[in-house]
Amino acid sequence: MADWSDPTPFQLQALHEALLFAFPSHLDLDSLLMLRLGKTYAALAPVLGNYTQGVTAILQQARADGWLGDLVRQALKAKPRSPKLLLLDRSAELARVELPPALGVGLEHIVREAQGLQDLMPWLARLETIGQCTCRIEYPVNTARGTGWLVGRDLLLTNWHVVDAALPGGTWDAREIVCRFDYALTAQGTQPGSELRLAPAWCVDASPPSPAELGTGAGAATADTLDFALLRLARPVGDEPAPSGNSRRWIEIGPPQPLPKANDIVFVVQHPQGLPVKLAAGDVHSVAADGLRLYHSANTQGGSSGSVVLDARLQPVALHHAGDLLYGATGLGTPQRNQAVPIAPIAGRLHAAGHLT
């Protein structure tokens, strides 16, 4: 369970909404307080306030007196299947996401009209689904190579350069590639996840990076150099239950989303350095004039190749595939931007070929 001894405003907002949902009246909450915590709603809530204000007052008192964690634990025991209470640990994990300095400045005005304000609990539920759709790609087993994510019942999207060694002429045996789902750090500790292999006819479609990105020439990116691979898994894991108990599902990438713009917020769900699934936040630096490459500031590391790049609404906008190419080529200075392939041209190609419906 998350640490509630010093909650962030983000955590308190999530808890406030979860209590209102799980205990829809002050009588419901009073039963919880009296029977499980030895307190009463009347003694904690303002006499003339409404129920929403009463829950706010109770949270303030619980935080000040040090029994907020007890309140969360007892609420979960009383309503063990309440979806919003179950998402509280997710809100705590998200509150710990490291933001780059540019996003850490306190602002009180709408500065990105197109991105608006998101309803917290549905946003967290979608983030949980995206995490369940994400896997670590290994070759051989337990040796991390990259990240992939479900775009269909049995279809996984990653970078071409993550699996190209298993293509004809390569040195890998594709039967030894492992896609590890649910490898994550949870309130119960690190979960090892489950292993899934590829289908015999595993490569549905693929497109290499540009010659310049491969280091084999000076050719720039084109519509035929999108650095993606669409892989077919041995079984339709998207239809199977996830650890949450819900169907795992997948991330739809069509119809194509419009290209994001400079300064738009982005998130990358990834397995950096093969670690349990992580979330990094950043913003869009720029988009190439031809719409074939996107540059962003979200932190990534080796093993992040093939990760989904999401906008503020958690819609997929790009496929992360490279760090700062200039820094990588020279080793001078510090990395300024990471690079991704916009999802629109990839989705357009896959839908036109009939691979996605």
Residue-by-residue pLDDT tens, the chain, 357 positions: 667 888 877 778 888 888 999 999 999 999 999 999 999 999 999 988 899 999 999 999 999 999 999 999 999 999 988 878 887 766 555 545 544 444 444 445 555 556 667 888 899 999 999 999 999 999 999 999 999 999 999 999 999 999 999 999 999 999 999 999 999 998 788 999 999 999 999 999 999 999 989 888 888 899 999 999 999 999 999 999 999 888 999 999 987 777 899 999 999 999 999 999 999 999 999 999 999 999 999 999 999 999 999 999 999 999 999 986 654 544 445 567 899 999 999 999 999 999 997
Distance CA(255)–CA(38), nearest Å, equals 54
Which alpha helices (DSSP H) does 236-355 contain, by range? Answer: 325-330, 343-352
Distance CA(318)–CA(21), nearest Å, equals 34
Contacting residues for 329 by C-beta, under 8 A, at least 6 apart:
none
Distance CA(357)–CA(227), nearest Å, equals 21
| Closest to 310 (Cα-Cα) out of 332, 340, 336, 334 | 340
- For residue 338, what is the enclosing H or E element? strand 338-342
Give the bridge partners for 322, in sequence order: 339
Contacting residues for 128 by C-beta, under 8 A, at least 6 apart:
87, 90, 244
Does the structural domain 129-352 have CATH classification 2.40.10.120?
yes
Write down the pTM of the prediction. 0.73
